[in-house]
Amino acid sequence: MQKDTTSSGRGGEYHQTASEGVERMTTQQGIPVSDDQNSLKQGTRGPTLMEDFHFREKIFHFDHERIPERVVHARGYGAHGYFETYDPIPELTRADLFQRKGEKTPAFVRFSTVAGNKGSADLARDVRGFAVKLYTREGNWDIVGNNIPVFFIQDAIKFPDLIHAAKQEPDRGFPQAQTAHDNFWDFISLMPEAAHMMMWIMSDRAIPRSFRFMEGFGVHTFRFVNAEGKSHYVKFHWKPKQGLQSVTWPEALAINGADPDFHRRDLWDAIQSGNYPEWELGLQVFDDDFADRFDFDILDATKLIPEEDVPVRKVGRLVLDRMVDNFFAETEQVAFHTGNVVPGVDFTNDPLLQGRNFSYLDTQLKRLGSPNFTHIPVNAPKCPMHSLQQDGHMAMTNPTTRANYEPNSWGDAEGGPREDPDGGFRSVPEENPGPKVRERSETFADHYSQARQFYISQTDVEQRHMADALVFELSKVETPAIRTRVLSQLCNIHDDLANAVADGLGMSVPEPAEPAIPTRQDLSASPALSILKNGPKSLAGRRLGILIADGTDAGELKTLSDAAKAAGATPMLVGPRVGSVSLSDGSTTATDEKIDGGPSVIFDATAVLVSAEGAAQLGGLHAARSWVADAWAHGKYIFHSADAGPLLSAAGLPDTPGDGVVSTDVLSADDFLKEASALRVWNRAP
């Protein structure tokens, strides 16, 4: 059995030491390292100390490994918009943007994958970055989050190890933008704290249909501070107004082949067509009393607070309404930083957050070449900015005052800006008693209970997808011992999951890994954690693929297209060629996609509107048969004309397909679109 030694303060499961015959780890200066698992903190739950030279050197080297693309989140896509405040919340925070109803704050958002390089495909199984820059009247506030509310590790000192393990293996340079390899699962199998995040990345959350249909999370616990200095803990949520939606793994593979820029193109098309994506900012606000009685430590980034325990309060909406003018100047050069907070927002002692507050600024210096990266327009605040900082590479503006130091005795014009004791940023005066230690708090030691809670919160379909994902990933792992260690971790999460994965791999279920704290069985399911329980209620913002051919009924086509537009969906015509298709009334229409260039996998619902002659014509085309067969296999709704039968049969559909395959003789276009808003017929999917 594997021994989880987190409870002894080490923070991991497997540790070789020099006494076991391996070389002694040192810093770059040759200083022996006693603990590579924990950063130095003031008390087990206290802040990370800047004197921790080993942590700083490790992060420093990691941040400067590559140029010019980001080490993580290299493949990203951004857009401009605004945040609109609903009602003021001065009782919670003095943050300026929350003081006036209807206040519109300019925003820039960058979505990204984590592991892949700049040229990787959009539909990799991966975490998605969800970083929001708010240009408030009192400076820039960056909410630098992900589409998953928890993370792999508890302490930032392990971040280089995590990313190194997830990236392509260094000796062979592959696989890229994938975690289906030995190094990643070797690391995960030795880090029980990653068990909860493992469940999320093996879920459909890691293959979203669109940036527009995924949630965003601040991940960490922050503080809100009001004008009187009273503070509350807060967690940030971005809730998509058009509901959650993901794709299946076979679809992800097909989409990456058909359009590796699928997410980019989707966001571009939506904004350019005026279908502006929207999210609502939700807050989970709680006090010390709740933090003390909550089952888990609110400073542990591998844990979440179920919405059933602390409801999410909606305080505003984020709207993206403008694409960038130049991708490099804005999306590539935008610099986010968890340390960019405004008065009224403050940090907690979350050791992962404390490390991020160091790492981001350091990374930006390496990537953008100068401390003057804030002079780049996308990074510059839109409120007045005055400091005594000057010079440096690529300085665009310099102070015009006589003094470049403070305090000084010069008058206002020559002396430059002065500090504001009343209105300036103030940290919460928190006491942190305790010795200087490299240890993990015992309150961080339950690694499996929330992983189990996440699993039981999913529908049967989602649980099956998670098991399938684990089987696929582990089938690519060449080392049997690694697969066994992962299975031993799954035994602590749920027997059904461990059995399904073991069966898929053709392995026996091993003994469970010995947990630091036994998995709790009493945590209730949280419906908010399921995608399918929080899906869309209409086809708004989705795409309807309509397969046509010569002879298609012009009236049926117009009726369906008009109904789709009225429902907020985008109808797209797919035909045997790009160019004119002759309709039944003698008119012609241009198609948006050629069949083999616009496969059904890229659409959210499908229609086959063909005449008898058109059905016969398309039935002889492999691409057309595949278009229909894939729509069926992926559980898509299919609306078809009465004469489409020969094509459906040629594609291998049953004689009486049912289950979301509906004729125009049976349902009206409006009724079909309402039915198709469910997006999938899961009992039909393989």
Catalytic residues: 73, 146
Residue 354 is encoded by which pair of tokens?
């404390």
Q: How do strand 139-146 and strand 278-286 relate by DSSP bridges? A: unpaired
Query: What order of strands is seen across the sheet that includes strand 605-608?
Result: 593-594, 570-575, 543-547, 605-608, 638-640, 661-663
Residues contacting residue 130 through CB under 8 Å, at least 6 positions apart: 109, 111, 145, 146, 147, 214, 215, 216, 217, 238
Give the residue from 273, 277, 207, 200 showing the smallest Cα distance to 242. Answer: 277
Look-up of token digits 């987190």: 6
Distance, in Å, from the CA atom of 468 to the CA atom of 474, rounded to the nearest integer, reads 10
DSSP codes, 512-579: PPB-SSPPPS-PPP-GGG-SGGG--SS-TT-EEEEE--TTB-HHHHHHHHHHHHHTT-EEEEEESSSS
Strand partners, 237: 217, 282
Q: What are phi and psi of 504, to 5 degrees?
A: -65, -30
CB atoms within 10 A of CB 16: 10
Distance, in Å, from the CA atom of 235 to the CA atom of 244, rounded to the nearest integer, reads 20
Q: What is the 3-state secondary structure (H, E, C) of 37-103?
A: CCCCEECCCCCECCCCHHHHHHHHHHHCCCCCCCCCCCCEEEEEEEEEECCCCCCCCCCHHHCCCCC
Distance, in Å, from the CA atom of 61 to the CA atom of 317, rounded to the nearest integer, reads 38
Whole-number Cα distances in Å, 211 to 65, 73, 198, 409:
28, 14, 21, 53
**Region for 433 from its dihedrals, namely left if φ exceeds 0, alpha if ψ lies in -120 to 50, beta otherwise:** beta
Distance, in Å, from the CA atom of 639 to the CA atom of 637, rounded to the nearest integer, reads 7
Whole-number Cα distances in Å, 626 to 598, 618, 621, 649:
11, 10, 9, 12
Length of the chain: 686
Distance, in Å, from the CA atom of 79 to the CA atom of 81, rounded to the nearest integer, reads 7
Residue 506 is encoded by which pair of tokens?
């053709």
Distance, in Å, from the CA atom of 607 to the CA atom of 597, rounded to the nearest integer, reads 17
**Is the dihedral angle over the CA atoms 430, 431, 436, 439 positive or is it negative?**
negative
Identity (one letter) of the amino acid at 131? A
Strands (E) in 241-312, as ranges, are: 278-286
Give the residue from 74, 221, 248 showing the smallest Cα distance to 686. Answer: 248
Give the residue from 590, 592, 611 showing the smallest Cα distance to 602. Answer: 592
Cβ atoms of 343 and 423 within 8 Å: the answer is yes
Distance, in Å, from the CA atom of 280 to the CA atom of 258, rounded to the nearest integer, reads 32
Residue 466 is encoded by which pair of tokens?
């998670």
